Amino acid sequence: MKIGFIGLGNMGAPMAANLVAAGHSVTGHDLAAAMPAGVTAADSAAGAARDAEVVITMLPNGDILRAVAAQVIPAMPAGAVLLDCSTVDVDSARAVASQAAAAGRHAVDAPVSGGVGGAAAGTLTFMAGGPADAFATVRPLFEVMGQRAVHCGEAGAGQAAKICNNMILGVTMIATCEAFALADRLGLDRARMFDVVSTSSGQSWSMTSYCPAPGVGPKSPADNGYKPGFAAELMLKDLRLSQLAAEAADADTPMGQLAMQLYERFVEDEGGLGRDFSAMLPRFEGRERH
């Protein structure tokens, strides 16, 4: 396919590189990042979109997505697909989809799970919203950039799935870190706690696959000084999106709200910026006794 790719940062660059390696023709644009090998540079977002069958965006937030979409949709050929892989608010995803449909183009919102490592390895999971025929068009690209893509429904459904998933992840990581900190105070060996919880009713992905305690369970960022696989500030972004969506939908999410507040404090006031989101464990274990 002929692909335009806008946003070639830590996630976008390896995704674009995998598309080039699979034989696709990729023209890219980024305000700051260098082009990966094999990607042709365009001088504007519209230039990257011109003549493209699919335009992929990987951008920081909904406001930037809306601004970029306003530039690229008119430049895209009729019937082309705008595939947004950013994590943004549901309203922005739906607004861009409406704009694309009005212009005779298609839009798929498909945020990802798997982080920078998954982007480099081509093992991302995509949660997609949009028309079924547009999803079918871009499915071969999902198969290059990832290992799984789920069509979740109409426009905005991909973003909804991502923020619901990550709200669970934020809450369960905090609970896991709290439990390890409590186990420490009770004199319970961390490895024995892991052995029990990872095969009992308290088990979760945060415990069994991404354990926040160094030296326990499979290798995780905890074993690398909490250098981020998924940064705490990105978890905070997703939790904020979940609470924006909850407010708009009049949904009651008290645990999501509390998780957002705790990550907010951790990132903004307690040195969590630039650390993995599992570094909540040293945050809890370092708390003074009262």
Q: Which residues are catalytic?
A: 162
The backbone torsions φ and ψ at residue 41, rounded to the nearest 5 degrees and listed phi first, read -80, 135
- DSSP summary character for residue 221: G
Helices (H) and strands (E) in the chain, counts: 12, 9
CA 249 and chain centroid, separation = 22
CA 174 and chain centroid, separation = 19
264-273, long-range: CB within 8 Å, 24+ apart, which pairs? 264/236, 266/232, 267/232, 267/233, 267/236, 272/232, 272/233, 273/232, 273/233
Helix (H, G, I), strand (E, B) or coil at 270: coil
Per residue, what are the HEC states of 38-71?
A: CCEECCCHHHHHCCCCEEEECCCCHHHHHHHHHH
277 token code pair: 């989101």
Nearby residues of 200 by Cβ (< 8 Å), 6 or more positions away: none
CA distances from 196 to 90, 102, 171, 189 (A): 39, 55, 20, 11
Strand 112-113 relative to strand 124-129: parallel, antiparallel, unpaired? antiparallel
Place of tokens 């990729």: 26
The answer to whether 145 and 19 have CB atoms below 8 angstroms apart is yes
Do you know the residue count of the chain?
A: 290
